[in-house]
Structure 1
Amino acid sequence: MTTPPVASAPLPSAPLTVAAVQADPVPGDVPGNARVAAGLAARAAGAGARVAVLPELFLPAYHPPTLAADPAGTDVAATGDGAVDDPRLDPLRAAARDNGITLVVGAAVRHPDGRRTISALVADPTGAIRVGYDKQQLWGGERELFDAGRRGATLLVDDWRLGLGICYDGCFPEHARAAAADGAHGYLCPSGYLAGSAHRRDLYYAARALDNTMYVVFANAVGGADPWRFNGGAAVYDPEGRPLVRGADDGEAVLVATLDPAALAATRSAHSMLADRPADQGLPRTALPA
Protein backbone atom coordinates (compact mmCIF):
# COMPACT_ATOMS: atom_id res chain seq x y z
CA MET A 1 0.00 0.00 0.00
CA THR A 2 1.31 3.44 -0.90
CA THR A 3 0.10 6.86 0.12
CA PRO A 4 -0.97 9.37 -2.50
CA PRO A 5 1.33 12.26 -3.35
CA VAL A 6 0.51 15.64 -1.89
CA ALA A 7 -1.48 17.73 -4.31
CA SER A 8 0.15 20.91 -5.53
CA ALA A 9 -2.27 23.60 -4.36
CA PRO A 10 -1.34 27.28 -4.54
CA LEU A 11 -1.24 29.13 -1.26
CA PRO A 12 -4.26 31.35 -0.57
CA SER A 13 -3.89 34.94 -1.72
CA ALA A 14 -5.35 36.62 1.38
CA PRO A 15 -5.97 35.88 5.08
CA LEU A 16 -9.18 34.21 6.23
CA THR A 17 -10.79 34.91 9.60
CA VAL A 18 -12.51 31.94 11.22
CA ALA A 19 -14.38 31.18 14.43
CA ALA A 20 -14.33 28.05 16.59
CA VAL A 21 -17.47 27.86 18.74
CA GLN A 22 -18.20 26.09 21.99
CA ALA A 23 -21.80 26.00 23.20
CA ASP A 24 -24.36 23.88 25.06
CA PRO A 25 -27.28 22.72 22.87
CA VAL A 26 -30.53 21.29 24.26
CA PRO A 27 -31.02 17.56 23.55
CA GLY A 28 -33.64 17.00 20.89
CA ASP A 29 -34.46 20.68 20.27
CA VAL A 30 -33.42 21.07 16.63
CA PRO A 31 -35.30 24.35 15.96
CA GLY A 32 -34.13 25.91 19.24
CA ASN A 33 -30.53 24.85 18.66
CA ALA A 34 -30.71 26.22 15.10
CA ARG A 35 -31.73 29.60 16.51
CA VAL A 36 -28.85 29.48 18.99
CA ALA A 37 -26.45 28.54 16.19
CA ALA A 38 -27.70 31.46 14.12
CA GLY A 39 -26.99 33.85 16.98
CA LEU A 40 -23.50 32.43 17.46
CA ALA A 41 -22.87 32.79 13.73
CA ALA A 42 -23.90 36.43 13.87
CA ARG A 43 -21.49 36.98 16.78
CA ALA A 44 -18.70 35.35 14.77
CA ALA A 45 -19.45 37.47 11.72
CA GLY A 46 -19.55 40.59 13.87
CA ALA A 47 -15.98 39.77 14.95
CA GLY A 48 -14.92 39.49 11.31
CA ALA A 49 -15.21 35.74 10.73
CA ARG A 50 -15.94 34.44 7.25
CA VAL A 51 -16.25 30.83 8.46
CA ALA A 52 -17.69 29.59 11.76
CA VAL A 53 -17.44 25.99 13.00
CA LEU A 54 -19.96 24.70 15.58
CA PRO A 55 -19.78 21.43 17.54
CA GLU A 56 -20.52 17.87 16.47
CA LEU A 57 -24.25 16.99 16.39
CA PHE A 58 -25.02 20.51 17.58
CA LEU A 59 -28.49 20.64 16.04
CA PRO A 60 -29.93 17.63 17.92
CA ALA A 61 -27.19 17.78 20.63
CA TYR A 62 -24.78 14.93 21.26
CA HIS A 63 -27.06 12.99 23.61
CA PRO A 64 -27.29 9.32 22.59
CA PRO A 65 -30.42 8.49 24.64
CA THR A 66 -32.36 11.22 22.80
CA LEU A 67 -30.84 10.34 19.42
CA ALA A 68 -31.88 6.70 19.95
CA ALA A 69 -35.38 7.47 21.23
CA ASP A 70 -36.41 10.06 18.63
CA PRO A 71 -34.61 9.62 15.31
CA ALA A 72 -37.47 11.22 13.39
CA GLY A 73 -37.32 14.35 15.52
CA THR A 74 -33.55 14.64 15.75
CA ASP A 75 -32.57 13.89 12.12
CA VAL A 76 -32.61 16.21 9.13
CA ALA A 77 -33.28 14.73 5.70
CA ALA A 78 -30.90 15.11 2.76
CA THR A 79 -31.67 14.70 -0.92
CA GLY A 80 -29.61 12.50 -3.19
CA ASP A 81 -27.29 15.40 -4.02
CA GLY A 82 -26.85 16.34 -0.35
CA ALA A 83 -29.20 19.33 -0.19
CA VAL A 84 -31.05 19.92 3.09
CA ASP A 85 -34.38 21.74 2.95
CA ASP A 86 -35.70 21.59 6.51
CA PRO A 87 -37.69 24.61 7.71
CA ARG A 88 -36.33 24.13 11.25
CA LEU A 89 -32.98 25.31 9.86
CA ASP A 90 -34.30 28.57 8.38
CA PRO A 91 -32.50 30.64 11.07
CA LEU A 92 -29.21 29.15 9.86
CA ARG A 93 -29.99 30.03 6.26
CA ALA A 94 -30.80 33.59 7.25
CA ALA A 95 -27.70 33.93 9.44
CA ALA A 96 -25.40 32.71 6.67
CA ARG A 97 -27.05 34.88 4.03
CA ASP A 98 -27.45 38.05 6.11
CA ASN A 99 -23.95 37.92 7.56
CA GLY A 100 -22.08 36.66 4.49
CA ILE A 101 -20.61 33.79 6.50
CA THR A 102 -20.13 30.07 5.88
CA LEU A 103 -21.33 27.88 8.76
CA VAL A 104 -20.17 24.34 9.49
CA VAL A 105 -22.53 22.78 12.02
CA GLY A 106 -23.03 19.23 13.27
CA ALA A 107 -26.23 17.31 12.52
CA ALA A 108 -27.74 13.85 12.36
CA VAL A 109 -28.64 13.25 8.71
CA ARG A 110 -30.99 10.74 7.11
CA HIS A 111 -30.03 9.94 3.50
CA PRO A 112 -32.43 8.74 0.78
CA ASP A 113 -30.98 5.21 0.96
CA GLY A 114 -31.81 5.00 4.67
CA ARG A 115 -28.32 5.62 6.02
CA ARG A 116 -28.11 7.75 9.16
CA THR A 117 -24.87 9.68 9.56
CA ILE A 118 -23.15 12.10 11.90
CA SER A 119 -22.55 14.93 9.48
CA ALA A 120 -21.17 18.41 9.05
CA LEU A 121 -23.73 20.63 7.34
CA VAL A 122 -22.48 23.62 5.39
CA ALA A 123 -24.65 26.74 5.20
CA ASP A 124 -23.19 29.12 2.64
CA PRO A 125 -23.68 32.87 2.10
CA THR A 126 -26.43 32.24 -0.47
CA GLY A 127 -28.50 30.62 2.28
CA ALA A 128 -28.20 27.12 0.84
CA ILE A 129 -27.56 24.21 3.22
CA ARG A 130 -26.01 20.95 2.14
CA VAL A 131 -24.29 17.96 3.68
CA GLY A 132 -20.59 18.73 3.52
CA TYR A 133 -19.20 15.59 5.07
CA ASP A 134 -20.28 12.38 6.87
CA LYS A 135 -18.11 11.19 9.78
CA GLN A 136 -15.99 8.23 8.70
CA GLN A 137 -14.61 7.05 12.05
CA LEU A 138 -17.43 6.23 14.45
CA TRP A 139 -16.65 6.10 18.17
CA GLY A 140 -17.99 3.51 20.60
CA GLY A 141 -21.78 3.40 20.77
CA GLU A 142 -22.14 5.68 17.75
CA ARG A 143 -21.93 2.50 15.68
CA GLU A 144 -25.26 1.37 17.10
CA LEU A 145 -27.03 4.53 15.90
CA PHE A 146 -25.18 5.69 12.79
CA ASP A 147 -23.53 4.56 9.57
CA ALA A 148 -19.96 5.53 8.69
CA GLY A 149 -19.29 8.05 5.98
CA ARG A 150 -17.85 6.85 2.69
CA ARG A 151 -15.45 9.60 1.60
CA GLY A 152 -13.52 12.67 2.64
CA ALA A 153 -14.43 16.20 1.68
CA THR A 154 -12.78 19.58 1.20
CA LEU A 155 -14.60 22.89 1.63
CA LEU A 156 -13.53 25.75 -0.63
CA VAL A 157 -13.83 29.28 0.76
CA ASP A 158 -12.31 31.88 -1.53
CA ASP A 159 -9.01 30.16 -2.38
CA TRP A 160 -8.64 28.39 0.96
CA ARG A 161 -8.95 24.61 0.90
CA LEU A 162 -10.37 23.36 4.21
CA GLY A 163 -10.56 19.63 4.88
CA LEU A 164 -13.55 18.43 6.90
CA GLY A 165 -13.36 16.01 9.81
CA ILE A 166 -15.59 15.28 12.80
CA CYS A 167 -14.24 14.55 16.28
CA TYR A 168 -12.91 10.95 16.28
CA ASP A 169 -11.71 11.38 12.68
CA GLY A 170 -9.07 13.70 14.07
CA CYS A 171 -7.65 10.92 16.27
CA PHE A 172 -6.44 9.18 13.10
CA PRO A 173 -3.37 10.86 11.55
CA GLU A 174 -4.29 9.38 8.18
CA HIS A 175 -7.53 11.34 8.04
CA ALA A 176 -5.97 14.78 8.28
CA ARG A 177 -3.09 13.61 6.06
CA ALA A 178 -5.62 12.70 3.36
CA ALA A 179 -6.91 16.27 3.54
CA ALA A 180 -3.36 17.60 3.28
CA ALA A 181 -2.70 15.28 0.35
CA ASP A 182 -5.70 16.90 -1.33
CA GLY A 183 -4.02 20.29 -0.91
CA ALA A 184 -5.79 21.45 2.26
CA HIS A 185 -4.55 24.59 3.99
CA GLY A 186 -6.73 23.92 7.02
CA TYR A 187 -8.80 21.22 8.74
CA LEU A 188 -12.19 21.92 10.34
CA CYS A 189 -13.34 19.61 13.14
CA PRO A 190 -16.76 19.91 14.81
CA SER A 191 -16.37 17.74 17.92
CA GLY A 192 -17.88 16.45 21.16
CA TYR A 193 -15.22 15.78 23.81
CA LEU A 194 -16.44 14.67 27.20
CA ALA A 195 -15.27 15.95 30.57
CA GLY A 196 -12.09 14.14 31.56
CA SER A 197 -10.65 14.08 28.03
CA ALA A 198 -8.80 17.42 28.07
CA HIS A 199 -5.35 15.86 27.61
CA ARG A 200 -6.36 14.07 24.41
CA ARG A 201 -8.52 16.97 23.24
CA ASP A 202 -5.58 19.35 23.41
CA LEU A 203 -3.08 16.88 21.95
CA TYR A 204 -4.80 15.39 18.90
CA TYR A 205 -5.66 18.56 17.00
CA ALA A 206 -2.41 20.35 17.73
CA ALA A 207 -0.65 17.23 16.42
CA ARG A 208 -2.77 17.16 13.26
CA ALA A 209 -1.82 20.79 12.63
CA LEU A 210 1.92 20.14 13.00
CA ASP A 211 1.80 16.76 11.22
CA ASN A 212 0.47 18.47 8.13
CA THR A 213 1.65 22.07 8.57
CA MET A 214 -1.90 23.35 8.25
CA TYR A 215 -4.35 25.29 10.39
CA VAL A 216 -6.86 23.35 12.49
CA VAL A 217 -10.19 24.75 13.68
CA PHE A 218 -11.58 22.67 16.56
CA ALA A 219 -15.12 23.30 17.86
CA ASN A 220 -16.51 21.48 20.89
CA ALA A 221 -19.67 21.15 22.93
CA VAL A 222 -19.67 22.38 26.52
CA GLY A 223 -21.88 21.71 29.51
CA GLY A 224 -24.59 19.07 29.80
CA ALA A 225 -25.19 16.47 32.50
CA ASP A 226 -23.05 13.42 33.29
CA PRO A 227 -22.32 11.09 31.61
CA TRP A 228 -22.83 13.41 28.60
CA ARG A 229 -21.01 16.46 29.96
CA PHE A 230 -18.65 18.18 27.53
CA ASN A 231 -15.49 20.13 28.19
CA GLY A 232 -15.17 23.04 25.76
CA GLY A 233 -11.58 23.95 24.95
CA ALA A 234 -12.46 25.01 21.39
CA ALA A 235 -9.37 26.27 19.61
CA VAL A 236 -7.70 27.38 16.42
CA TYR A 237 -4.19 25.96 15.94
CA ASP A 238 -1.50 27.42 13.72
CA PRO A 239 0.47 25.21 11.28
CA GLU A 240 3.02 24.42 14.02
CA GLY A 241 0.30 23.24 16.39
CA ARG A 242 0.28 26.30 18.64
CA PRO A 243 -3.11 27.59 19.80
CA LEU A 244 -3.94 31.00 18.41
CA VAL A 245 -7.07 31.02 20.59
CA ARG A 246 -8.46 28.47 23.04
CA GLY A 247 -11.64 28.40 25.11
CA ALA A 248 -12.03 27.51 28.75
CA ASP A 249 -13.32 24.10 29.84
CA ASP A 250 -16.74 25.59 30.54
CA GLY A 251 -18.92 28.40 29.26
CA GLU A 252 -20.09 29.43 25.81
CA ALA A 253 -17.50 31.11 23.61
CA VAL A 254 -16.92 32.30 20.05
CA LEU A 255 -13.17 32.20 19.45
CA VAL A 256 -11.93 34.15 16.44
CA ALA A 257 -8.55 33.93 14.73
CA THR A 258 -7.09 34.80 11.34
CA LEU A 259 -5.47 32.21 9.09
CA ASP A 260 -2.47 33.84 7.44
CA PRO A 261 -1.08 32.52 4.13
CA ALA A 262 2.33 34.07 4.90
CA ALA A 263 2.56 32.08 8.14
CA LEU A 264 1.44 28.96 6.28
CA ALA A 265 4.16 29.48 3.65
CA ALA A 266 6.85 30.16 6.28
CA THR A 267 5.94 27.05 8.25
CA ARG A 268 5.91 24.82 5.20
CA SER A 269 9.28 26.22 4.13
CA ALA A 270 10.84 25.58 7.55
CA HIS A 271 9.11 22.24 8.19
CA SER A 272 8.86 20.46 4.85
CA MET A 273 7.37 17.12 5.96
CA LEU A 274 4.67 17.19 3.30
CA ALA A 275 7.12 17.82 0.48
CA ASP A 276 9.69 15.32 1.85
CA ARG A 277 7.26 12.47 2.51
CA PRO A 278 8.14 9.41 0.39
CA ALA A 279 5.23 7.82 -1.39
CA ASP A 280 5.95 4.36 0.05
CA GLN A 281 6.53 5.64 3.62
CA GLY A 282 8.36 2.74 5.22
CA LEU A 283 7.09 -0.01 2.89
CA PRO A 284 8.05 -2.78 2.44
CA ARG A 285 9.21 -3.65 5.96
CA THR A 286 11.87 -6.08 7.13
CA ALA A 287 11.51 -8.22 10.26
CA LEU A 288 14.74 -8.29 12.24
CA PRO A 289 15.60 -11.14 14.63
CA ALA A 290 16.07 -10.13 18.28
Structure 2
Amino acid sequence: MNAPARLRVAAGQATSVPRDVAANVATACSLVTTAADQGARVVVLPELFLTGYAAEEWRHDDSLALDASTGSGGPDERLRPLADLARERGVTVVASAAVRRALDASTLSAVVLTPDGEVRAPYDKQHLCGLEEQGFFTAGDHGATIVVDGWELGLGICYDGSFPEHAASAAAAGATAYLTPAAFFTGSDHRRDLYYAARAIDNGIYVVFAGLTGTCGASSFSGGSAVYDPEGRAVARTGADDPAVVVADLDIAEVRRVQDEVNTVARDRRDSLGHRERLEVGRAG
Protein backbone atom coordinates (compact mmCIF):
# COMPACT_ATOMS: atom_id res chain seq x y z
CA MET A 1 0.00 0.00 0.00
CA ASN A 2 1.41 3.37 -0.98
CA ALA A 3 1.43 5.98 1.76
CA PRO A 4 -0.34 9.27 1.06
CA ALA A 5 1.98 12.25 0.70
CA ARG A 6 1.04 13.62 4.11
CA LEU A 7 -0.13 12.27 7.43
CA ARG A 8 -1.39 14.61 10.17
CA VAL A 9 -0.31 13.53 13.65
CA ALA A 10 -0.70 14.90 17.15
CA ALA A 11 1.03 14.52 20.49
CA GLY A 12 -1.05 15.20 23.58
CA GLN A 13 -0.09 15.70 27.21
CA ALA A 14 -1.86 16.17 30.53
CA THR A 15 -1.66 15.05 34.15
CA SER A 16 -2.35 11.36 34.80
CA VAL A 17 -4.05 10.08 37.97
CA PRO A 18 -2.39 6.97 39.48
CA ARG A 19 -4.45 3.81 38.89
CA ASP A 20 -7.60 5.74 37.96
CA VAL A 21 -8.10 4.41 34.45
CA ALA A 22 -11.58 5.91 34.10
CA ALA A 23 -10.36 9.43 34.92
CA ASN A 24 -7.35 9.09 32.62
CA VAL A 25 -9.50 7.76 29.78
CA ALA A 26 -11.78 10.80 30.14
CA THR A 27 -8.75 13.10 29.85
CA ALA A 28 -7.43 11.06 26.92
CA CYS A 29 -10.78 11.45 25.16
CA SER A 30 -10.55 15.22 25.55
CA LEU A 31 -7.03 15.28 24.10
CA VAL A 32 -8.00 13.01 21.22
CA THR A 33 -11.08 15.10 20.44
CA THR A 34 -8.96 18.26 20.29
CA ALA A 35 -6.50 16.54 17.96
CA ALA A 36 -9.21 15.02 15.75
CA ASP A 37 -10.91 18.40 15.44
CA GLN A 38 -7.64 19.60 13.87
CA GLY A 39 -7.60 16.69 11.42
CA ALA A 40 -5.11 14.38 13.15
CA ARG A 41 -5.15 10.75 11.99
CA VAL A 42 -2.75 9.55 14.69
CA VAL A 43 -2.67 10.75 18.31
CA VAL A 44 0.17 9.82 20.66
CA LEU A 45 -0.30 10.08 24.44
CA PRO A 46 2.35 9.94 27.21
CA GLU A 47 4.02 6.98 28.90
CA LEU A 48 1.80 5.10 31.39
CA PHE A 49 -0.87 7.75 30.87
CA LEU A 50 -3.78 5.32 31.22
CA THR A 51 -2.65 3.76 34.50
CA GLY A 52 -0.33 6.41 35.93
CA TYR A 53 3.41 6.81 36.36
CA ALA A 54 3.60 6.46 40.15
CA ALA A 55 5.93 3.63 41.18
CA GLU A 56 4.51 3.51 44.68
CA GLU A 57 1.14 2.54 43.17
CA TRP A 58 2.27 -0.20 40.79
CA ARG A 59 0.67 -3.58 41.48
CA HIS A 60 0.29 -6.81 39.52
CA ASP A 61 -3.47 -6.54 39.22
CA ASP A 62 -6.07 -5.77 36.57
CA SER A 63 -5.15 -2.08 36.21
CA LEU A 64 -5.59 -2.68 32.49
CA ALA A 65 -7.19 -6.01 31.65
CA LEU A 66 -6.05 -6.88 28.14
CA ASP A 67 -5.92 -10.49 26.94
CA ALA A 68 -2.13 -10.79 27.06
CA SER A 69 -2.20 -14.33 25.70
CA THR A 70 -3.26 -13.05 22.27
CA GLY A 71 -1.97 -9.49 22.54
CA SER A 72 -5.50 -8.18 22.09
CA GLY A 73 -8.89 -8.36 23.70
CA GLY A 74 -11.42 -6.48 25.73
CA PRO A 75 -11.38 -3.71 25.61
CA ASP A 76 -11.60 -3.36 29.36
CA GLU A 77 -14.87 -1.50 29.86
CA ARG A 78 -12.91 1.45 31.29
CA LEU A 79 -11.29 1.78 27.86
CA ARG A 80 -14.57 1.64 25.99
CA PRO A 81 -15.06 5.44 25.70
CA LEU A 82 -11.60 5.86 24.15
CA ALA A 83 -12.05 2.88 21.83
CA ASP A 84 -15.44 4.19 20.72
CA LEU A 85 -14.01 7.66 20.14
CA ALA A 86 -11.17 6.27 18.01
CA ARG A 87 -13.75 4.49 15.86
CA GLU A 88 -16.12 7.45 15.64
CA ARG A 89 -13.40 9.93 14.69
CA GLY A 90 -11.40 7.55 12.49
CA VAL A 91 -8.16 8.02 14.40
CA THR A 92 -5.44 5.73 15.69
CA VAL A 93 -4.55 6.39 19.33
CA VAL A 94 -1.16 5.31 20.69
CA ALA A 95 -1.39 5.40 24.47
CA SER A 96 0.55 3.62 27.22
CA ALA A 97 -0.28 1.58 30.29
CA ALA A 98 0.91 -1.06 32.69
CA VAL A 99 -0.39 -4.32 31.21
CA ARG A 100 -0.72 -7.49 33.22
CA ARG A 101 0.80 -10.39 31.29
CA ALA A 102 0.74 -13.09 33.99
CA LEU A 103 -0.06 -13.48 37.68
CA ASP A 104 3.12 -11.69 38.77
CA ALA A 105 4.30 -10.12 35.53
CA SER A 106 3.44 -6.76 34.03
CA THR A 107 4.84 -4.88 31.07
CA LEU A 108 5.13 -1.16 30.40
CA SER A 109 3.34 -1.16 27.10
CA ALA A 110 2.09 0.81 24.12
CA VAL A 111 -1.68 0.42 23.81
CA VAL A 112 -3.04 1.07 20.33
CA LEU A 113 -6.71 1.85 19.76
CA THR A 114 -7.63 1.58 16.09
CA PRO A 115 -10.27 3.25 13.87
CA ASP A 116 -12.17 -0.05 13.78
CA GLY A 117 -12.57 0.05 17.57
CA GLU A 118 -10.02 -2.62 18.38
CA VAL A 119 -7.46 -2.47 21.20
CA ARG A 120 -3.96 -3.91 20.88
CA ALA A 121 -0.84 -3.95 23.03
CA PRO A 122 1.76 -4.67 20.33
CA TYR A 123 4.85 -3.30 22.03
CA ASP A 124 6.42 -3.57 25.49
CA LYS A 125 9.17 -1.15 26.52
CA GLN A 126 12.54 -2.83 25.96
CA HIS A 127 14.81 -0.43 27.84
CA LEU A 128 13.42 -0.13 31.34
CA CYS A 129 14.69 2.97 33.12
CA GLY A 130 15.99 2.87 36.67
CA LEU A 131 15.65 0.41 39.51
CA GLU A 132 11.92 0.99 40.01
CA GLU A 133 10.95 0.12 36.43
CA GLN A 134 13.52 -2.68 36.24
CA GLY A 135 12.35 -4.11 39.55
CA PHE A 136 8.68 -4.22 38.61
CA PHE A 137 8.16 -4.52 34.85
CA THR A 138 9.25 -7.24 32.46
CA ALA A 139 11.20 -5.87 29.49
CA GLY A 140 9.85 -6.39 25.98
CA ASP A 141 11.60 -8.82 23.65
CA HIS A 142 10.72 -7.38 20.22
CA GLY A 143 10.22 -4.19 18.28
CA ALA A 144 6.93 -3.14 16.70
CA THR A 145 5.61 -1.02 13.84
CA ILE A 146 2.06 0.03 13.12
CA VAL A 147 0.85 0.94 9.64
CA VAL A 148 -1.60 3.85 9.35
CA ASP A 149 -2.80 4.93 5.91
CA GLY A 150 0.26 3.18 4.46
CA TRP A 151 2.71 5.01 6.74
CA GLU A 152 5.12 2.76 8.66
CA LEU A 153 5.30 4.08 12.22
CA GLY A 154 7.84 2.58 14.63
CA LEU A 155 7.02 2.38 18.33
CA GLY A 156 9.28 3.23 21.24
CA ILE A 157 8.61 4.25 24.83
CA CYS A 158 10.60 6.96 26.60
CA TYR A 159 14.03 5.49 27.55
CA ASP A 160 14.02 3.43 24.33
CA GLY A 161 14.62 6.71 22.52
CA SER A 162 17.88 7.24 24.42
CA PHE A 163 19.43 4.35 22.47
CA PRO A 164 20.25 5.21 18.84
CA GLU A 165 19.94 1.60 17.74
CA HIS A 166 16.28 1.42 18.80
CA ALA A 167 15.02 4.04 16.36
CA ALA A 168 17.61 2.88 13.80
CA SER A 169 16.10 -0.62 13.91
CA ALA A 170 12.66 0.82 13.21
CA ALA A 171 13.98 2.94 10.35
CA ALA A 172 15.87 -0.01 8.87
CA ALA A 173 12.58 -1.93 8.84
CA GLY A 174 10.94 0.86 6.82
CA ALA A 175 9.58 3.24 9.45
CA THR A 176 9.32 6.85 8.31
CA ALA A 177 8.29 8.06 11.78
CA TYR A 178 9.02 7.00 15.35
CA LEU A 179 6.23 7.38 17.94
CA THR A 180 7.32 7.73 21.56
CA PRO A 181 5.04 7.98 24.59
CA ALA A 182 7.30 9.29 27.36
CA ALA A 183 7.54 10.63 30.92
CA PHE A 184 10.53 12.83 31.72
CA PHE A 185 10.98 13.98 35.29
CA THR A 186 11.12 17.71 35.86
CA GLY A 187 14.72 18.86 35.52
CA SER A 188 15.68 16.49 32.71
CA ASP A 189 14.33 18.70 29.92
CA HIS A 190 17.76 19.14 28.31
CA ARG A 191 18.15 15.39 27.77
CA ARG A 192 14.58 15.06 26.54
CA ASP A 193 15.07 17.72 23.89
CA LEU A 194 18.38 16.26 22.71
CA TYR A 195 17.47 12.58 22.52
CA TYR A 196 14.45 12.80 20.23
CA ALA A 197 15.83 15.43 17.90
CA ALA A 198 18.88 13.18 17.58
CA ARG A 199 16.79 10.12 16.75
CA ALA A 200 15.15 12.11 13.95
CA ILE A 201 18.39 13.34 12.42
CA ASP A 202 20.13 9.97 12.98
CA ASN A 203 17.69 8.32 10.61
CA GLY A 204 16.11 11.05 8.50
CA ILE A 205 12.65 10.30 9.91
CA TYR A 206 9.98 12.12 11.89
CA VAL A 207 9.73 11.66 15.66
CA VAL A 208 6.45 12.21 17.51
CA PHE A 209 7.11 12.64 21.24
CA ALA A 210 4.31 12.82 23.84
CA GLY A 211 5.52 13.74 27.33
CA LEU A 212 3.68 13.32 30.61
CA THR A 213 3.22 16.58 32.51
CA GLY A 214 2.04 17.67 35.94
CA THR A 215 2.29 15.65 39.15
CA CYS A 216 1.56 11.93 39.29
CA GLY A 217 2.01 10.36 42.71
CA ALA A 218 5.29 11.52 44.22
CA SER A 219 6.82 12.68 40.93
CA SER A 220 6.48 15.70 38.66
CA PHE A 221 6.95 15.62 34.91
CA SER A 222 8.05 18.20 32.34
CA GLY A 223 5.82 17.59 29.31
CA GLY A 224 7.64 18.91 26.25
CA SER A 225 5.50 17.14 23.64
CA ALA A 226 6.87 17.77 20.16
CA VAL A 227 7.08 16.65 16.55
CA TYR A 228 10.59 16.64 15.04
CA ASP A 229 11.22 16.69 11.29
CA PRO A 230 13.78 14.46 9.53
CA GLU A 231 16.51 17.05 10.14
CA GLY A 232 15.83 17.10 13.88
CA ARG A 233 13.97 20.42 13.98
CA ALA A 234 10.93 20.81 16.22
CA VAL A 235 8.09 21.72 13.84
CA ALA A 236 5.61 21.70 16.75
CA ARG A 237 6.38 21.84 20.46
CA THR A 238 4.89 22.75 23.82
CA GLY A 239 6.38 23.20 27.29
CA ALA A 240 4.90 21.90 30.54
CA ASP A 241 1.38 23.07 29.60
CA ASP A 242 -1.47 21.00 31.04
CA PRO A 243 -3.34 19.98 28.98
CA ALA A 244 -1.81 20.57 25.56
CA VAL A 245 -1.94 19.14 22.05
CA VAL A 246 0.57 19.79 19.26
CA VAL A 247 -0.29 18.94 15.65
CA ALA A 248 1.91 18.63 12.57
CA ASP A 249 1.86 17.16 9.08
CA LEU A 250 4.35 14.46 8.18
CA ASP A 251 5.53 14.74 4.56
CA ILE A 252 6.85 11.61 2.84
CA ALA A 253 8.66 13.74 0.24
CA GLU A 254 10.62 15.43 3.02
CA VAL A 255 11.68 12.04 4.42
CA ARG A 256 12.92 10.96 1.00
CA ARG A 257 14.65 14.28 0.32
CA VAL A 258 16.55 14.22 3.59
CA GLN A 259 17.46 10.55 3.38
CA ASP A 260 18.59 10.74 -0.26
CA GLU A 261 20.11 14.21 -0.55
CA VAL A 262 20.62 16.11 2.70
CA ASN A 263 21.73 13.74 5.44
CA THR A 264 22.51 10.25 4.20
CA VAL A 265 23.77 8.96 7.54
CA ALA A 266 21.16 6.20 7.73
CA ARG A 267 22.16 4.92 4.29
CA ASP A 268 25.88 5.24 5.02
CA ARG A 269 25.82 3.58 8.45
CA ARG A 270 28.15 0.56 8.46
CA ASP A 271 26.98 -2.79 9.77
CA SER A 272 30.28 -3.24 11.55
CA LEU A 273 33.26 -1.08 12.43
CA GLY A 274 35.56 -4.09 12.62
CA HIS A 275 38.03 -4.76 15.40
CA ARG A 276 39.63 -1.98 17.42
CA GLU A 277 43.36 -1.35 17.45
CA ARG A 278 44.90 -0.20 20.75
CA LEU A 279 48.07 1.85 20.60
CA GLU A 280 49.97 2.90 23.73
CA VAL A 281 52.07 6.03 23.32
CA GLY A 282 54.58 7.18 25.93
CA ARG A 283 55.56 5.61 29.20
CA ALA A 284 53.08 5.04 32.01
CA GLY A 285 53.94 6.50 35.42
With the shorter chain as reference, the TM-score category is: over 0.9
Q: TM-score, normalised by structure 1?
A: 0.92
- Contact 1:97–1:124 (CA under 8 A) maintained in structure 2: yes
Aligned with residue 106 of structure 2, among 99, 111, 116: 116
Conserved in 1, the CA contact under 8 Å of 2:52 and 2:216? no
CA distance in 2, matches of 1:264, 1:12: 12
SS in structure 1 at match of 2:201: helix
CA drift of 1:279 comes to: 2.0
Displacement over 4 Å in runs of 4+: none
- 1:11 deviates by 7.6
Q: What is the TM-score normalised by the length of structure 2?
A: 0.93
Equivalence for 1:82: 71
Q: Which structure 1 residue ranges, 5 or more long, are not aligned?
A: 1-9
Partner of 1:271: 263
1:1-290 maps to which residues of 2 (within 5 A)?
12-68=3-59, 71-85=60-74, 86-112=76-102, 114-140=104-130, 141-224=132-215, 227-269=218-260, 270-280=262-272, 282-290=273-281
SS at match of 1:76: coil
Q: How many residues align?
A: 278
Structure 1 residue 13: deviation in Å?
A: 3.4
RMSD: 1.6
Once residues 128 and 79 of structure 2 are traced to their aligned partners in structure 1, the CA distance between those partners, rounded to angstroms, is: 25
CA drift of 1:238 comes to 0.2
DSSP-derived class of the 1:230 partner: strand
Once residues 114 and 49 of structure 1 are traced to their aligned partners in structure 2, the CA distance between those partners, rounded to angstroms, is 37
| Unaligned segments of structure 2, at least 5 residues | none
CA offset at residue 113 of structure 1? 7.1
Q: CA deviation at 1:186?
A: 0.5
Shift in Å, 1:268: 1.0
Give 1:7's aligned residue: none
Provide Cα deviations, 1:93-139, integer angstroms capped at 9, x if missing partner. Answer: 11100000000001100114753100000000000001021000001
Q: Is the 1:99–1:125 contact (alpha carbons within 8 Å) kept by the matching residues of 2?
A: yes
| Contact 2:54–2:217, Cα closer than 8 Å, also in 1 | no
| Paired letter, 1:78 | D
Q: 1:251 to 1:95 in 2, by over 3 A?
A: same
SS in 1 for 2:58: helix
- CA–CA distance in structure 2, aligned partners of residues 185 and 149 of structure 1: 22
Larger displacement relative to structure 2 (124-133 or 263-272): 263-272
**Secondary structure of residue in 1 paired with 2:135:** helix
In the alignment, is the contact (CA less than 8 A) between 1:154 and 1:163 conserved in 2?
A: yes
Q: Distance in 1 between the 2:124 and 2:254 partners?
A: 30
Amino acid at match of 2:115: P
Q: For residue 164 of structure 2, what is the amino acid of its counterpart?
A: P
Q: Measure the CA separation in 2 of the matches of 1:60 and 1:198.
A: 23
After alignment, is 25-34 or 74-83 more displaced? 74-83
- What percent identity do the matched residue pairs reach? 48
